[in-house]
Amino acid sequence: AQSVTQLGSHVSVSEGALVLLRCNYSSSVPPYLFWYVQYPNQGLQLLLKYTTGATLVKGINGFEAEFKKSETSFHLTKPSAHMSDAAEYFCAVSKWSNTGKLIFGQGTTLQVKP
Amino acid sequence: EPEVTQTPSHQVTQMGQEVILRCVPISNHLYFYWYRQILGQKVEFLVSFYNNEISEKSEIFDDQFSVERPDGSNFTLKIRSTKLEDSAMYFCASSQPGQGLSDEQFFGPGTRLTVL
């Protein structure tokens, strides 16, 4: 079975500070990993994904994540937070199948203080 | 830019009533999904749909739920007899075939279902 754990339901950073949102996964097969962002009253938008190849993945809006198999982690980072980054962030995992269902973590709300 | 749309944005219903949540996936997508998020909980997979049949469903997706693609554009989720615990945000998603599960799923804005 697959699962995702996001450490910290709320993270608060100052504008310009480093953003680090943690995600650990459990998977019996090589995982496919995703980060989604949800702004208020909007759907989930894909930030970035890891499928195969390079373990450091760059996404939209300056975010990146590194797949670390030994740590079963896929933490999301951004060097300098912007006010517009305030949103809810979801880590998700999927396995090789013909359905591609996503299994989500609990979500982390990012607050950016001026 | 193409997007997934969902209607209504908010649905209020009485317990025991039937509801139909509607989604219009991106036009050239062939895989369709429903997820739900109960307030304060994880986003949970309900069902996936491909080639006019269910590909996979979760334990949540019991006989009270059904999905349908009644025409070439809509994808619906029906709950036959709503329960209080069905209150949640329901998200529709769609994706393209070809590269399997690494295809991005595009999500709609959600329908908030409130069962009284």
Residue B108: predicted pLDDT: 93
Tell which phi-psi region holds residue B52, choosing left (phi > 0), alpha (psi between -120 and 50) or beta: left
The CA–CA distances, whole Å, from B28 to A41, A43, A99, B94 equal 25, 19, 17, 9
pLDDT higher than threshold 50 for residue A98: no
Nearest-CA distance A48 → chain B (Å): 10
Distance CA B109, CA B32 (A): 15
Contacts of B110 in chain A (CB under 8 A): 43
Q: Is the peptide bond before B8 cis (omega within 30 degrees of 0)?
A: yes
A-to-B residue pairs, Cβ atoms closer than 8 angstroms: 69
Nearest-CA distance B16 → chain A (Å): 27
Mean pLDDT over B98-109 rounds to 71
Asked if the Cβ–Cβ distance from A45 to B107 is below 8 Å, we say yes
- Nearest residue to A50 via CA among A72, A28, A79, A18: A72
pLDDT higher than threshold 50 for residue A17: yes
Instruction: List, for residues B21-58, the tens digit of each pLDDT value.
Output: 999 999 888 889 999 999 888 899 999 998 899 999 99
Question: Best residue in A102, A108, A109 to probe B by mutation, most B CBs within 10 Å?
Answer: A102
Residues 37-96 of B with CB under 8 A from A: 41-45, 48, 50, 55-56, 58, 91, 93, 95
Question: Best residue in A3, A98, A106 to probe B by mutation, most B CBs within 10 Å?
Answer: A98
Distance CA A88, CA B20 (A): 27
Of the candidates A36, A42, A100, which has its C-beta nearest B95's C-beta? Answer: A100
Distance CA B77, CA B65 (A): 7
Asked if the Cβ–Cβ distance from B55 to A49 is below 8 Å, we say no
Mean pLDDT over B48-69 rounds to 93
DSSP one-letter string for B48-77: EEETTEEEEE-TT--TTEEEE--SSS-EEE
Distance CA A87, CA A94 (A): 23
Question: Best residue in B36, B45, B58, B94 to probe A by mutation, most A CBs within 10 Å?
Answer: B45
Residue B12: predicted pLDDT: 97
Q: Please, is B10 exposed, middle or buried when counting C-beta atoms within 10 Å of its C-beta (0-12, 13-18, 19+)?
A: exposed
SS3 of chain A: helix, strand, coil, percent, to 5:
10, 55, 40
Taking residue A71's Cβ as centre, other Cβ atoms within 10 Å add up to: 10
Please, which pLDDT band fits residue A63 given cuts at 50, 70 and 90? very high
